[in-house]
């Protein structure tokens, strides 16, 4: 059966977007909403979108006119009889979606595909009300649909493989990249997205750093487009907080997904983000206002530096930088009594290192070497509870010596970026371990759906070194005692076998 006519039910933000890409790709679109005003408003807004696109020269006037002519508004659900595919984008309620799918089965042809754009409900559960659950699958687009060029195809437990195959082919015709997932909570993107937000919140909750510091570190040290708090302000906590709770509960209180009371309080106080004018940042007057960075303190005369040799990779990287900065490096086995002590942990906090090696905590500052230390990449220094302000300032001045921005944070297992990136990679590894999607589709979905750098989380893991990430997670678990940091078996085994994180089992 070839799909030429696509029914779209629900003319809200998502239904409009789906109708737009379908009509632009040459499909006839039947648009229905229980609220007739929503249908009329949707058609009008589509007209405006196409007029704008043609005014900007992105599409021709003819394409704009033809696309609009292909969108037929429907007054009754019965009009879906002509569709070969119906995509549902109505309210996110299982009972209402089930009822709709049941009604649709009485209207549409026997081989018509029924797809749901749900982002959080089980496709198997929606299809359960259908006579022919084999024709039901998930078709999860992202907002705004025309710009977010990825779509998750979700196979329910009773979905026929050809249902998903047809949706994959159609996605390509509409110019979108399809990725395929099993029916598990959060599918791929909303599952993989847990790492960043939840670990960012945990770091702030532990008083490691401020919201703005975490964001700056994720952007300028780890190379992400946005930090977790900028992202949550953009999405709105009214959306993000319930997703955090729902994925956590659906995985039966998996510690990796444990949400934070920080967002619960902010939701209660309506500090939702950009949409309410205030979230983690204030959007009142100046939408781009960010807190100012503290000034770089003066470098003390004759500063002597002792670099701890305990973590070999970190030591090598830090030694090269200190040399380039012209630091007065002391190479004795034990730190002299008057030198700044620099430690370079992977996953451990500064206090653990001070304790284990009997260092002077007052003079100890940790440097995060994990992402590289080249000029221009933000550097992160971490104090333990005993670090004295003059030694903290001396380290700040030293590492800002070539004009590179420096963040100074409080003690944390895994600094800020190590712990967040380790969480992101670990969650992605566990999605692969559960066969929710292929490693290639996990990377594709997350790089397109969340804009993560370097081709997605598994590739990030390979690039930074899977064995280092394993070391970081194990140290974090040891220091905190928290099971959320236990390494995924996928990560552990690929490190043991020297395989890429993108590699599937050879015998599978």
The catalytic residues are 119, 140, 152, 190
Are 19 and 50 spatial neighbours (Cβ–Cβ below 8 Å)? no
Please, which residue, 14 or 341, has the CB nearer to ligand NAI? 14
Q: Which residue is nearest to ligand NAI (CB)?
A: 12
Are 330 and 305 spatial neighbours (Cβ–Cβ below 8 Å)? yes
| Touching ligand NAI, residues 122-181 (CB under 6 A) | 141-143
Residue 246 sits in the site that holds ligand NAI (CB under 6 A): no
For ligand NAI, what does the binding mask look like between residues 64 and 103, x meaning CB under 6 A? -------------------------xxxx---x---x---
Query: Which residue in 20, 24, 119, 344 binds ligand NAI (CB under 6 A)?
Result: 119
Query: Which residue in 5, 8, 15, 444 binds ligand NAI (CB under 6 A)?
Result: 15
User: In the structure encoding, which two tokens stand for residue 428, read together?
Assistant: 């992605």
Burial class (CB in 10 A: 0-12, 13-18, 19+), 354: buried
Please, which residue, 15 or 401, has the CB nearer to ligand NAI? 15
Please, which residue, 149 or 454, has the CB nearer to ligand NAI? 149
Please, which residue, 177 or 210, has the CB nearer to ligand NAI? 177
Residue 467 CA to its chain's centroid (Å): 22
Number of residues that bind ligand NAI (CB under 6 A): 23
Are 185 and 247 spatial neighbours (Cβ–Cβ below 8 Å)? yes
Residue 38 sits in the site that holds ligand NAI (CB under 6 A): yes
Classify residue 176 by its DSSP letter: P
| Shortest reach from residue 472's CB to ligand NAI, in Å | 32
Distance CA 210, CA 224 (A): 18
7 closest CA partner among 39, 33, 31, 25: 31
Query: Which residue in 3, 6, 8, 11 binds ligand NAI (CB under 6 A)?
Result: 11
Distances (CA, A) of 125 to 114, 250, 369, 505: 14, 13, 47, 30
Residue 289 sits in the site that holds ligand NAI (CB under 6 A): no
Distance CA 231, CA 193 (A): 11
414 closest CA partner among 492, 496, 470: 470
Residue 33 sits in the site that holds ligand NAI (CB under 6 A): yes
Residue 10 sits in the site that holds ligand NAI (CB under 6 A): yes
Q: Which range in 32-40, 176-184, 289-297, 477-485 contacts ligand NAI by CB under 6 A? A: 32-40
Please, which residue, 90 or 123, has the CB nearer to ligand NAI? 90
Tokens 């919140």 found at: 201
Asked if the peptide bond before residue 144 counts as cis, ω within 30 degrees of 0, the response is: yes
Counting Cα atoms < 13 Å in the Cβ hemisphere of 82 gives: 11
Residue 117 sits in the site that holds ligand NAI (CB under 6 A): yes
Please, which residue, 142 or 370, has the CB nearer to ligand NAI? 142
Strand, coil or helix: 277: coil
Residue 221 sits in the site that holds ligand NAI (CB under 6 A): no
Which parts of this chain interact with ligand NAI (CB under 6 A)? 9-15, 33-35, 38, 89-92, 96, 100, 117-119, 141-143
């Amino acid at each position: 059966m070839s799909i030429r006519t696509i029914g779209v039910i629900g003319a809200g933000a998502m239904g409009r977007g789906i109708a737009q890409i379908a009509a632009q790709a040459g499909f006839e679109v039947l648009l229905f909403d229980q609220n007739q005003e929503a249908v009329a408003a949707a058609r009008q807004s589509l007209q405006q979108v196409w007029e704008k696109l043609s005014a900007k020269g992105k599409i021709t006037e003819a394409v704009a006119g033809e696309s609009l002519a292909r969108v037929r508004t429907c007054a009754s659900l019965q009009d879906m009889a002509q569709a070969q595919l119906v995509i549902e984008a109505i309210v996110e309620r299982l009972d209402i979606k089930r009822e709709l799918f049941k009604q649709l089965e009485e209207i549409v042809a026997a081989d018509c595909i029924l797809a749901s754009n749900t982002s959080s409900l089980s496709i198997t559960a929606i299809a359960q009300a259908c006579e022919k659950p084999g024709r039901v699958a998930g078709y999860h687009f992202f907002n705004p649909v025309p710009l977010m060029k990825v779509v998750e195809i979700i196979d329910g437990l009773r979905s026929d493989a050809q249902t998903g195959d047809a949706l994959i082919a159609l996605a390509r015709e509409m110019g979108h990249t399809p990725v395929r997932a099993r029916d598990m909570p959060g599918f791929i993107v909303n599952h993989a997205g847990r790492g960043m937000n939840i670990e960012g919140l945990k770091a702030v909750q532990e008083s490691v750093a401020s919201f703005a510091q975490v964001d700056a570190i994720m952007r300028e040290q780890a190379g992400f487009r946005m930090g977790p708090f900028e992202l949550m302000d953009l999405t709105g906590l009214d959306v993000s907080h319930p997703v955090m709770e729902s994925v956590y509960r659906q995985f039966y209180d998996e510690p990796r997904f444990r949400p934070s009371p920080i967002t619960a309080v902010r939701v209660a106080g309506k500090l939702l983000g950009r949409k309410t004018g205030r979230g983690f940042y204030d959007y009142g007057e100046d939408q781009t206002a960010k807190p100012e960075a503290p000034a770089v303190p003066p470098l003390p005369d004759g500063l002597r530096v002792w670099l701890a040799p305990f973590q070999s990779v970190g030591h090598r990287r830090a030694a090269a930088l200190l040399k380039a900065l012209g630091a007065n490096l002391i190479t004795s086995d034990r730190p002299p009594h008057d030198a700044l002590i620099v430690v370079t942990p992977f996953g451990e906090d500064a206090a653990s290192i001070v304790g284990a090696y009997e260092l002077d905590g007052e003079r100890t500052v940790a440097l995060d070497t994990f992402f590289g230390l080249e000029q221009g990449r933000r550097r992160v220094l971490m104090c333990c509870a005993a670090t004295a302000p003059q030694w903290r300032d001396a380290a700040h001045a030293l590492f800002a010596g070539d004009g590179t921005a420096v963040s100074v944070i409080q003690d944390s297992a895994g600094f800020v970026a190590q712990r967040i990136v380790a969480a992101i990679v670990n969650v992605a590894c566990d999605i692969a371990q559960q066969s929710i999607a292929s490693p290639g589709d996990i990377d594709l979905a997350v790089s397109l759906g969340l804009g993560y750098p370097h081709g997605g989380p598994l590739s990030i893991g390979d690039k930074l070194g899977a064995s280092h990430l394993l070391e970081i997670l194990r140290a974090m678990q040891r220091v905190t005692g928290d099971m959320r940091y236990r390494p995924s078996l996928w990560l552990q085994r690929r490190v043991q076998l020297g395989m890429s994180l993108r590699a599937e089992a050879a015998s599978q």
